[in-house]
Amino acid sequence: DQQVKQNSPSLSVQEGRISILNCDYTNSMFDYFLWYKKYPAEGPTFLISISSIKDKNEDGRFTVFLNKSAKHLSLHIVPSQPGDSAVYFCAASGTGTASKLTFGTGTRLQVTL
């Protein structure tokens, strides 16, 4: 039962262009969403988050959009840089779960020159 889904296993984008990574969830009890970035042989590192009371959160080149009615969120990276090449995981948590995160399967982003 995959409660958080990332349907695109990989994405290739040219340097300077926009990268859009998508995530869908099924559990309506989720109320906090996070994106993590993972390089090989390292643990995931926190990138950006959004609460369910918002529909957008921006941090520099990274923006997360949340559409609660569609149970969909997306991460926009503008402009994309070669150093952004990594696996991106969408994660969600709900009230009372003490920050226990449910992760998606990840999307591998490759930013080409």
Partner 1 sequence: DTGVSQDPRHKITKRGQNVTFRCDPISEHNRLYWYRQTLGQGPEFLTYFQNEAQLEKSRLLSDRFSAERPKGSFSTLEIQRTEQGDSAMYLCASSPPGGPGEKLFFGSGTQLSVL
Q: Which residues of the chain form contacts with partner 1 (CB under 8 A)?
A: 4, 6, 9, 31-32, 34, 36, 41-46, 49, 51, 89, 91, 93-106
Return the structure tokens found at 20. 């859009």
| Cα gap 35→46, rounded to integer Å | 6
* Distance set, CA 93 to CA 3, 18, 52, 88, 98 (Å): 11, 27, 10, 17, 8
8 Å CB contact between 46 and 113 = no
> Residue 84 carries which DSSP code?
G
CB of 15 to partner 1, least distance (A): 27
Nearer to partner 1, 3 or 72 (CB): 3
| Cα gap 64→34, rounded to integer Å | 9
CB of 9 to partner 1, least distance (A): 8
CB of 14 to partner 1, least distance (A): 26
CB of 97 to partner 1, least distance (A): 6
